[in-house]
Amino acid sequence: MGRETVNKANTPTPVRSPCVKVCELDPANGLCRGCHRTQDERDWWVAYSDDQQREVLRRCEQRRSVLAAGEGELAPSMGIVESRRKKAPETPPEA
C-alpha cells in the first residue's frame, strides 16, 4: 500500500534523435547524409528543448522530401539557439 502508482500519461516522452548512424556531411548541401540535419543541429541536439527538437525533425523531413523530389528549397538550419537544458559556458571575467 505504501507504493505510489506512476501515471504514465504525465511522464514526458523524450524526442528520439533522427540519427541513423550514417554521420557524413554532404558537401553539396551541408546536410548529414543519414538524418538530414545540419552540423549545428547535430552538435546542439542535446541542448535543444523538446519543441526545438521536434522542429528539427520537421525540417529534416522537409529536406528529405525536397532532396527526393530533386527540386525545392531546403529548410534553413535551426542553428545555435538558447537552450533551457544546457547553458553555454560563461566567459570568465577579464582580470
Would 45 be classed as within a structural domain? yes
* Tally of domains within the chain: 1
Read off the pLDDT of each residue in 16-34 and give the average, rounded to a whole number: 96
Read off the pLDDT of each residue in 36-49 and give the average, rounded to a whole number: 94
Domain containing 44 equals 16-69
Would 90 be classed as within a structural domain? no
Would 88 be classed as within a structural domain? no
Confidence of residue 61 (pLDDT cuts 50, 70, 90): very high
Distance, CA of 57 to CA of 75 (rounded, Å)? 11
Specify the pLDDT at position 29.
96
Would 77 be classed as within a structural domain? no
Would 43 be classed as within a structural domain? yes
Specify the pLDDT at position 95.
59
Would 84 be classed as within a structural domain? no
